[in-house]
Each structure stands twice: as C-alpha cells, then as structure tokens.
Structure 1
C-alpha cells in the first residue's frame, strides 16, 4: 500500500504565528509580538512581512534604532521593492549617523532613482506614491543639511526646488488678507512636538514672556497629549487646540475659525506634510524659523526668524521669506537646580566628548576625531546619544574607528538619560567637548560651557559654533580647518592645565551672554511680529 507523505505545514504554521504576532503588536504587546515573529521566521525565514513588523516593533524608539535597521535590511533582502521598509531604513540610518547611506537609500524610493519599481502602478497607487515622494524629497533636504558635500547655496536651492514643486502651487490667489481689528493680535503656534524635542523647552521663555495686553496665544498641537505638554506648555496658552489626526483641510478650517492673525511654524521640514498646510495660507501672516533655525523657502511664508551670524544677509536673496534678525537665534535656559562643576581627577585619562545627535557626526568629522585619538594615544572619546543604547549601533561605531586604526576600547558609548543626570555625569566626566561639523551643536554646546567644559569647533557653513564662541569671546576655540582642529586638540591633551582657569569661569560667561537674556529674546521677537503685522495691515 502506498502511503502519501503529509504536506509540509511549516508555511501555514509560520503564517499563523506571524498573524498572531501582528495581533499582539497592534495591542501594544511588543515583547510577545517579537517572540511570535521569531518563531514564525524560524519555521519560514522568507516571511518578509514578519521581518518588517519586527522592524516596526522597535521603530521609532531611538534607543532601538540599530534593531530597526537590522530588521528593515532583512525585509529588503527578501523583498527589495518594499517601499515603506526602504523609507524607514533611510530614517533609521540617519538617526544612527549614517547620513550618506540614508540619502542613498531614500533616493531608491523616488521614481527617478528606481523607475522600474514604479512602472506597473495603478492610478490610485500613483496618488499614494506622490505623497511618499513628497516626504522622500523632504528627507533628501534633511540629509543634505548634514552632509559636508553640500554648500549653503546647494541646500537653499534644494529647499526652493521642493517648495516650487510641492508647496507653492497650493498658495491661494489672492492669499488670505489681514483683518483689521482693535483687539489683541492672535498668535497661533503650530507644532507636532510641544515638549518632545531637545530645544522645545527653549520656547517656554518666549511663550511665558509674551505681552498679554497685546497678544492672545493659541496652540495648535499636532501630537497626542503628553505629560510634558500638559505640564510645561498648556498653561502658557490662552487656548489649546488639538489637531492631531485631522486632515489638512480640517486643520486649516480650525485655524481660520480661531481667526489667527499670525501663524508660527515650529517644525519646518521636520514634518513636511504639515508644511503643505502652511502652503495653503490659512492665516494672513505666517512666520517660520523658531525652534529649528532654517528657512523653508515657501512663498506662503512671510518671515524667517534667525540671526546675522547663522544666516548672513547675502543669503537672503535665495529665499522668498523676509529675513527677521534677532541678536541671537539660539537661546538657552540653565537648569533650576544647582549642579556642581567638579575638578578633574588627576588619575583620570584625558577624555574628549560629544553628546550631539549621531546624525551630526559626518564622516569627515568622525575621520578627524579618529585622527585626534591617534595623535593623543592615551585619550578616550565619550559619545552619548539615544541610539547608542543599541548593541547594533555601538558595533557600527566600533567598526568605524577600528577601520581607522583606533582601538574600539577607547570609545565610551552611552545612551541618553535625564537632564540633571546627563549634565552632572557626562560633562564632569569629560575634559574637552568636540563640536561636530558641518552640522554644529547648539544646545549641547551651551550645556558643555555651562558645566565648565570648553568646546572645540571648526568654522563651517551652518555657523552655529561661530555664533556661540565669537559672542562669548572664545574665538581661540574656533578652528579654520581640520588640521588646526587636530592640532588644538593635541595641544590641550598635552597641557590639560590650560583648561583649569576656564572650568570655573565659563558658566558665568554664558549666563551673562545674549543666549540667556530671555527678556531681550521676547522683546525682539515681538517687535518682528508687530512690524510684519503692521506691514500687511496698512
């Protein structure tokens, strides 16, 4: 008698496990979901959707960026045409500091970069593709800003080209007109990240200091409410309007319904889909720049707030916004609690450090830091950023420096922590802060200086380092090129006693500077609001 061999049911079991994993993931049971996905892949390694969902289970937690990268890459090895995995991989590579790889990856999501992948799409799919294309081209801008290969003019041209293609066609003709009224000027602050990004708390002095006799403040929050926004931001506004989940047309209707006079963009290309809201001009006067420091080059934007050090007057011709100069676009609030500055222990080896986002650590910058470590043989480099919680991300940096002749044991890699612990532990544990280039630090440089740690920087196109160091009379710490940068670091390493007089004077120097002069910041910003409002009202 012939006995029929039973069919291999592994694929069916694997699919059932993957579906159970998805169900758990949708409920927020991520540990259970991951376990089920791993079981499914053990039975059927070709399940690309299980790999993708595993990547999603780690995304967007920055401390698990390395794990997301691993699983999105596994997805694309099995299904190279998976557009969403490609876009999310590009994003995660950026946060890990692989900015050039991020750019190369995002270009694969564009029809121009991969025409065969889009040849058989339906009309409905093409419509969805257009939205993805808009987001992808904005991501190109984000990477270009961080890469040394792009000049200021290159970046501004890319900004303007994006606006011409995606935003300017949405500008109504004629645009909204100012409505003359005798009451307070209604300021609408629009953000997806109230309380959710490193410099967001720097907005609180402006919001708290506004002249309430002249201005009424309305928040348009495009994010789920959180303890941070509830505690720190809601009390600063006269009205709080949640637009989270609202379509652009509904959001515009709400803005118009609240009769906003001046609408402030606090996101820029961090959230390009909402830039299209501003492109439709829901308020008669619209201003950008606060909180992120770059223009957006939209015709619908009336003003861009910056300072002459960061955005010199000769660049104004490249953008349609009117440039509005403050004494300083960067401001910093010291912590309320007392945090001591500790003397360097004599037995501790010399430690260079950076707590900047990894996306600011360009390849030329890291190559220069490797040269510093080789020139200073007993020194260490301490890096601190959320993605460094991941073993995959730490491995990337170990491999990078090892390939350049630096023992990876000389790297001190750590994830972020609470602000007080970060200031006290990190900055009392390093001797010299290395500022990245071309994407300089801002908040991180102020933190280092407040904790008595000098910042060594290189002049570059973003100019944030120049803005800080020159205003504080620390021009000797601003180097013209990489050779001088390495030489200065080596000199400090060999003569660390040079740092002692600075260690206990930098804090007061920063506190006495324009960066901590919040009343001036409020006065100058309000003066621009009033000037632009009078200009369109006359």
Structure 2
C-alpha cells in the first residue's frame, strides 16, 4: 500500500496516494514511511482533518525513538530543534548503509588550488540551482577547482546548461549505484565535498556515509541538522541558528555573515508584466500573496489570512496552484470561516522569468510557519515585494527572517502570530507605511548583502580555506564564524 501510494504521488494523484498510505497504516500502525507520507500528502492537499492527531502520533514516535520518521516531512510538524535533531539522528541510523572508507592521511598536495566538489540531484530546473549558479560561476579559479557531481538525469533546461558551464569539471553520475558513486568521488581526490540535498527528495546520503572526501559539509538544500556523524560542517548564519542553539545540531556550525542563503543577481525576469486582470486579480483591491508550497500552509496561519480578508475591503489572497484537491479544500476552509471563496485566487505554474514578473502585481507577501518561505522569499524580495514573516525556533522557521535582516528590513520580522497579524493589518491599511517599506526595499536591493553574490563568494571561500587549514594541521573539525568583508561588491551594470 505504501509503494502504491508513492506511485500515485508520482502520478500527481494525491487523494489516491493518501488513501493508500491510510491503508498501509491500518495494516501496520508503525509503518514509518507510510506515516511520513500520509502527513506530507494531507498537507499537500490542505486536508487538515485529523492532522493534529497525526502530528501527535509522529511526535510521540520521535520522542519514543520507536520508528524512523522522515526528517523532511517533520519540518512542517514542529519547529522544535531538539526534536528535529532526534528525528534526523534516528532516521540516519536506520537508513545508513555501507561502511566508511579508511580515512586518508591528509598531507600537503602538489596542488595550488583546493578541489571542492558540489554533490546534488538539483542541477536541473530546481530552486537550489537558481540560487547557487552565480556562486559557482564566481568562484576564484586561482585558488579553487570546482567540480560538480549530478545524480539527477539531464532535464535539458537552460539552468542545467548554465550549471554545467559553471564547473571546471561536471560529472553526470545519475546511473551509478551507491558503491560505484562513492568510489568515483573518492577517485576524484576532493579536498572538500559539499552536499546540497540533505534529507530532501532524491538524497543520497548513504554515499557520503562512506566518507569519500576528507571534509564533508552540507549547504543550502536542507534547512536543519542531518543528524549524521559523517557530515563535518553545516553552513548557517547567526540569526538562522543562534550560538546558544548550536548543541541542537549534530554538525559543527559555520556561521556566515549576513545570511546563509546565496542568490543569483543575474536571474532573468520576463520583459512584460501581466495585468492584474490577466491573473484574475482585482484592479484596485489589496493583494495579499503567498507563493509557498501548499504543504506549508497551516490552519492557524490560514485563520489569520481569512480574518485579514474579512477586515480589509476588496482584498484577495493570491496563492500558487499545486493540485486541484488543495484548491478545493482551501476554498472550502475559507467558506467555513465565512469568507467568500472567490477571494482566493490561484496562480498557475509558470517559468521562472514569468513567475518573477508577476510578483509586481502583489502588495504584500505573507509567509508561513513553521516552514518559512526560502527561495520564494528571495524571489519576492528580488522583485521588490515586501515579505512579512513570523520566526520560530528551527532553521526552517527562521530563513525568511535571515533574508529580511540581510536586506535591511528587520521590521518585517515578527516573533509571534499575534504580531504577525497586527503587522499585516497595519501594512494593508496604511499605504504610506507600506510604500516607505517598498522604497526602502528597492534602495537596499543592490546595496545590502542579501543579493551581493560576490560578497557571499568571498565569505564561503574563506570558510573552505579555514576548514582545510584545520584538517591539514590535524585538528578535528570545530565550529567557527567567518568575519564579514569590509566592502560591498559593486552592483552589476
């Protein structure tokens, strides 16, 4: 039943997938994969009936170390970093296969450059590629040799072509099994191997468990601890993971200045912007927007959004269409909260340049908790759309706050849902206040660090060199902070 559910999920038939997972759990209540998939599937459809009970069961399993729950699906269950560490550690222990290779003796090589490998299945039309591609292009080739290892098939997309061209050596390893791939990585004689997947879909952490590189780190792809003893470092920032929370993470932490998220200043934007009418939006009404995945929307957040629609005349909520069931369920949930379901407008999927352009039609982006907007938040900020967030305790719940602070807009970061709702109402009813924030965002876009890709490049390269220096001197990995460079990189022409 679980495998049947997975097949339905691949066919984008979430309702049938959820029914299959429920059948699997009826036969085996401790079927961890079915429980994780059921949680994710119901969230994807915004089918909130019974979700509290499912979440309680999942948390009890994690607390009792009874079954291994998917850490990725657990990010939407709670923002408790201690529980997320337990979940990730349990999952990693139960799924780890393959013995590590003998540790190589690290000595000074004849190479003048550090050889850094990036390992991922996201080198395709994927959010991670859109974020990281310019960093790969900008790496200092006088000090670094940059290698890519892709274990996803070539999707023939423009971003795949750009990604391939950004590496000194690019290896399509999508046809290799774990043992063969681990040996391929080892034979590449890397100094540092950077994983970009973590516990997300397509992860191949079992390859890294074999220790094919002397230093192994995780960056960007998964917003949390991997709970694995074979990952030496995790890249974070001071807001994302405060120093007093470091013990909640299995890895040594590297605190980058500004934000942990890198961005691409060259991301293409469609030349023409559609009209509000083209997108089914009112010409004059206030447009609240949330382009996060539907699985991130929670009932408590939706309650707030519906109260805003009730109190702001002519307002609408613009969401991203994911599946028909989610759209149907959200309209039904609106109606039960006495809101006209036509006030929910769903945007169809679009290519990134067109998707970016349509952000100009919205007035305010409303973020989600406990799983914030990540790439979706930087997309909005790049397009000059203010993002209002509520920060929680976990990495996933603090990303948007990290981005807003790095672009000089900490006033859009709230610490609880009451303040979040009050701020949203104020911004929607005080045009001068919102316009001032828009002006500040536009002024800061190429002035503050968030979209300064070369500044980020200098910081992460400093981290790579410190990691290698420690390794060469025989020191064990340890957490450290990278000092910010003094100057801001010039804006692109």
> How many residues are matched?
456
Give secondary structure in 2 for the equivalent of 1:73. Answer: helix
Which residue number corresponds to residue 346 of structure 2?
Answer: 413
Cα displacement string for residues 448-477 of structure 1 (whole angstroms, at most 9, x for unaligned residues): 233332222223222223222333332332
**Aligned positions of 1:35-434 closer than 5 A:** 52=4, 56=7, 59-60=9-10, 64=12, 67-70=13-16, 72-73=18-19, 81=27, 89-97=38-46, 137-139=68-70, 141-147=71-77, 149-167=78-96, 172=100, 175-183=103-111, 184-228=113-157, 230-271=160-201, 274-327=204-257, 328-334=259-265, 335-337=267-269, 348-385=284-321, 387=322, 390-425=323-358, 427-434=359-366
Q: What's the RMSD between the two structures over aligned residues?
A: 3.6
Tell me by how many angstroms 1:215 deviates. 2.1
- Pair 1:526–1:473, CA change in 2 (3 A): closer
Q: Distance in 1 between matches of 2:142 and 2:42?
A: 47
- Pair 1:435–1:171, CA change in 2 (3 A): same
Cα displacement string for residues 352-410 of structure 1 (whole angstroms, at most 9, x for unaligned residues): 1111122222232222222222332432111114x1xx322211111222222222121
Q: Distance in 1 between matches of 2:53 and 2:98?
A: 29
Task: Please identify the structure whose Cα radius of gyration is greater.
Answer: 1
Q: Distance in 1 between matches of 2:175 and 2:407?
A: 44
Give secondary structure in 2 for the equivalent of 1:428. Answer: helix
- Pair 1:336–1:224, CA change in 2 (3 A): closer
Among 447, 451, 459, the alignment partner of 2:391 is 459
Cα displacement string for residues 476-513 of structure 1 (whole angstroms, at most 9, x for unaligned residues): 32223222222222223333343234434422312211
Cα displacement string for residues 180-221 of structure 1 (whole angstroms, at most 9, x for unaligned residues): 312132222110111232232211122111222222222211
Q: Distance in 1 between matches of 2:53 and 2:73?
A: 10
| Mapped contact 2:312–2:428 kept (Cα < 8 A) | yes
Q: Distance in 1 between matches of 2:242 and 2:415?
A: 18
| Mapped contact 1:160–1:319 kept (Cα < 8 A) | no
Q: Distance in 2 between matches of 1:273 and 1:522?
A: 25
| Mapped contact 1:452–1:506 kept (Cα < 8 A) | yes
Bigger relative contact order, structure 1 or 2 (CA pairs below 8 A, ≥6 apart): 2
Q: Distance in 2 between matches of 1:405 and 1:272?
A: 41
Give secondary structure in 2 for the equivalent of 1:421. Answer: helix
Q: Distance in 2 between matches of 1:157 and 1:292?
A: 16
| Mapped contact 2:125–2:160 kept (Cα < 8 A) | no
Q: Distance in 1 between matches of 2:55 and 2:420?
A: 32
Q: Distance in 2 between matches of 1:525 and 1:511?
A: 20
- Pair 1:510–1:467, CA change in 2 (3 A): same
Structure holding more helix per residue: 1
Gaps of 5+ in 1: 1-47, 114-132
Q: Distance in 1 between matches of 2:204 and 2:233?
A: 17
Q: Distance in 2 between matches of 1:471 and 1:444?
A: 16
User: Is 1:442 matched with 2:377?
Assistant: no
Give secondary structure in 1 for the equivalent of 2:119. Answer: strand
The TM-score with structure 1 as length reference comes to 0.75
| Mapped contact 2:235–2:260 kept (Cα < 8 A) | yes
Gaps of 5+ in 2: 474-493
User: Is 1:477 matched with 2:427?
Assistant: no
Give secondary structure in 1 for the equivalent of 2:165. Answer: helix
Q: Distance in 1 between matches of 2:238 and 2:346?
A: 36
- Pair 1:72–1:478, CA change in 2 (3 A): closer
- Pair 1:476–1:100, CA change in 2 (3 A): farther
Cα displacement string for residues 40-66 of structure 1 (whole angstroms, at most 9, x for unaligned residues): xxxxxxxx99x959x83x6436xx4xx
| Mapped contact 2:198–2:222 kept (Cα < 8 A) | yes
Which residue number corresponds to residue 8 of structure 1?
Answer: none
Which residue number corresponds to residue 123 of structure 1?
Answer: none
Give secondary structure in 2 for the equivalent of 1:521. Answer: helix
